[in-house]
Chain A
Amino acid sequence: MAETVKKIRLATVWLGGCSGCHMSLLDLDEALIDLLTRADLVYGPLVDAKKYPEDVDICLVEGAVTNVENLELARHIRTNTRTVISFGDCAVTGNVTSMRNRIPVSDLLNAVYHEVSAPIGPEALKVLPALLKKVIPLHQAIKVDLFLPGCPPHPERIAAVLQALVNGDDVDLPADMRTFG
């Protein structure tokens, strides 16, 4: 039976975050093997794919939307993905990434790239994608179907969500698996 079922196309994306959520995903350990018998990882930092593919079933998006590039990618993810999951607190709430929101962007870039030794900032050289005035959680940019909080989300939580989705069940996490932080 299992053979005839089409494998789920799973993607992961790393926006403005520390990659800790991806580390936690790897901490699924042997459960990963189980998962990958049911799903193909088609895009993300863990696989070698240059372009976000079309027709993705599930996408775990780590990190907040911090710059124009993130925003563009988020739009692209939305058009090509059935279930978009805010993966971890930065995607869900902005979290640590959004702590820069209290500082005006110009001051921020000044402090990072100008007040130290480098004379010309990458922003001026158009190396860095333009920063948004405020870091926003993913759902304020695109519609998000599921929220998987935690900093990082515990592997248990990730497993519970992915298992349910792969089985085609509703995701219903207990309260203690829904906490931020």
Chain B
Amino acid sequence: MNTVDLQHVAEEEQQRQQQLNLRLFLCYSTPCLSAGAERVKNALDGLCDELDEEQRPTLEIVATGCMGPCSRGPLLRLARCDEPEEIYEKVTPEMACNIVRAALAAQSAAAEPLPSDFPFFACQTLIALENNGRIDPEQIIHSIARGAYSSLGHVLHEMTPEQVCNEITRSGLRGRGGGGYPTGVKWELVRKAQAERKYVVANGDEGDPGAYMDRTIMESDPHRVLEGMAIAGYACGAEQGYIYVRGEYPLAAARLAKAIKDAERRGLLGSRVLDSSFNFRIDLRVGAGAFVCGEETALMTSIMGRRGQPVPRPPYPAQRGLWGFPTLINNVETFASVAPIMREGAEWFAGFGTEKSKGTKVFALCGEVVNSGLIEVQMGTSLRDIVFAIGGGLPDGGTFKAAQTGGPSGGCIPADHLDTPVDYESLQALGSIMGSGGLIVMNETSCMPDVAKFFMEFCMDESCGKCVPCRVGTIEMLELLTRITDGSAMDEDLQTLEDLCHLVQETSLCGLGMTAPNPVLNTLHYFRDEYLAHIRDNRCPAGVCRLDQVPLLKLPEHAEQLTIFKEEH
């Protein structure tokens, strides 16, 4: 297939779609499926079978990836020619049939669609997610009709690798995995590296609890990621790519495997991509449950089939990566932003966002929020807009207490910083991080020392054990946090904890250890009163902690806590 063929295929499919009278997009991602999307699909399929010979060909049901507002699933999007789209929430099989029947009869349905200015959608800017909910991710033709691989074709035939790197640099795109390293600079480093072989790796080992942006992108629009990787391969001079998918995401892995096969079959990947002299193969690697593998050096050791332990940097992967060769490693979401940048131009992308953080960022908004789901907003959008406008505020009259970003490497942002623009620098200034994009809203029933303890337990469990500060430091910090939350802490424990946090932060080998103390330090900063209430007043303001233990020094007065043999005889 060459670029002309590609365009031809795309146009043909677009025409086919335009001729349809009614297109039904049913969200078929995990949350909607668990809310009953499959039953809705069966009902709709049944309805189709009942239609007469004339109507049936004018209607199409598309099982799509995630549409966004997951808490409102199952979601159904109705597209009729010449009419604005409608989205229905919490669709039941009966409802769906009624809606479709009404649409076919050109009547208004009994069910109300979401208003067209529904803030959840209106406040978003879709770039990485632009195809989500509009294609069947298992049909390459759907992706092609929406322009997939056209950027790749353009790049291969019209641009030099150097120009591609420049374009990415000028777009201001930064690593979406959390680090925020300028993507173009990284590409340029690998491009310039002299080596007999180079690799491109997509990091889909999304391990932060409360984050599922990458899962959704891989499940809903796999070709988008593959295209980004191929463009990167061309720009850097790599012929082999690996996409590393977290083991917990079997559906993402299956969709990617199919996407790779489909793309290869059409000459969009493999040898002589789109009739150019560029060869690019992508292999899928499925993780096996280790958070530390999200760290790039650990991820690479895992790709090579070993214990996923990080190695000291420098040398950076761009110098010495997989099997010692220069390796470009970017997050899945980063790769998903590449094709639109090449299509629309760097200036277009840089027009979104803030001075230092360009473009958009995908967040998984969840926790105590009315509309939980997947969103994509311009960098610099305020936290308040995200939580209250898009998220619809807290349910049941709850009070906003904090927003947790960055998972176990991040922190909790308190209410008085709600107007902070969400970008790399601002979040860092607040002692949190952008992270991969999990955003969990907490109300007054969340206890901050308990949340800190939760994350510390996570880090302790996920520490690879290579370096002492992380291996032992995390368990010792957890011990101190446990004391704080069970009532046995003493005043000086807080100081010991803080000192330990700084040690682990500054001396650990990789990002896991370096950032493990963040949730503690950050909550100590904003919610110190809560820690003190636990320690000094034996009180948990959120009412979460049991506080049923006694501090060591008070044990002589509470010896009954220690007495083991009661006088039972």
Taking beta carbons and an 8 Å cutoff, which residues of A are in contact with B?
68, 71-72, 75, 105-106, 109, 120-121, 123-124, 129-133, 136, 140-142
Q: A68-B559, A130-B559 are in contact. Are A109 and B565 (CB under 8 A)?
A: yes
5 shortest interchain CB distances as A-B pairs: A130-B562, A124-B565, A72-B556, A130-B559, A123-B565
Contact, CB under 8 Å: A106 / B556: no
B555 adjacent to chain A (CB < 8 Å): yes
Taking beta carbons and an 8 Å cutoff, which residues of B are in contact with A?
552-553, 555-556, 559, 562-569
- Given A123-B564, A131-B564, output 13 extra A-B contacts at Cβ < 8 Å: A71-B552, A71-B556, A105-B562, A105-B564, A109-B565, A121-B565, A123-B563, A124-B565, A129-B559, A130-B559, A130-B562, A132-B552, A133-B562
Inter-chain CA distance A136–B568, complex, in Å, is 30
Q: A68-B559, A120-B569, A130-B559 are in contact. Are A109 and B564 (CB under 8 A)?
A: yes
Q: Which residue of A lies closest to B560 (CB)?
A: A130
**Interface Cβ pair total, 8 Å cutoff:** 43
Partner of A68, one of B562, B565, B566, B567: B562
Contact, CB under 8 Å: B553 / A132: no
Q: A68-B559, A130-B559 are in contact. Are A141 and B565 (CB under 8 A)?
A: no
Contact, CB under 8 Å: B552 / A140: yes
Instruction: Sample 18 A-B pairs with CB under 8 A, ordered by A number.
Output: A68-B559, A71-B553, A71-B555, A71-B556, A105-B564, A106-B564, A124-B565, A124-B566, A124-B567, A124-B569, A129-B559, A130-B562, A130-B563, A130-B564, A132-B552, A132-B562, A136-B552, A141-B552
Q: Which residue of B lies closest to A136 (CB)?
A: B552
CB A90 to nearest CB in B, in angstroms, measures 18
Contacts of A132 in B (CB 8 A): 552, 555, 562
Counting chain B CB atoms within 10 Å of each CB, which of A121, A130, A132 scores highest? Answer: A130
CB B168 to nearest CB in A, in angstroms, measures 55
Counting chain A CB atoms within 10 Å of each CB, which of B553, B555, B556, B569 scores highest? Answer: B556
CB A64 to nearest CB in B, in angstroms, measures 13
Inter-chain CA distance A68–B563, complex, in Å, is 10
Inter-chain CA distance A120–B569, complex, in Å, is 9
Q: Which residue of B lies closest to A125 (CB)?
A: B567
Contacts of B552 in A (CB 8 A): 71, 132, 136, 140-141
Contact, CB under 8 Å: B553 / A141: yes
Partner of B553, one of A75, A109, A133: A75
Contacts of B567 in A (CB 8 A): 124
Contact, CB under 8 Å: A68 / B556: yes
Counting chain B CB atoms within 10 Å of each CB, which of A109, A123, A142 scores highest? Answer: A123
Contacts of B568 in A (CB 8 A): 124
CB A79 to nearest CB in B, in angstroms, measures 12
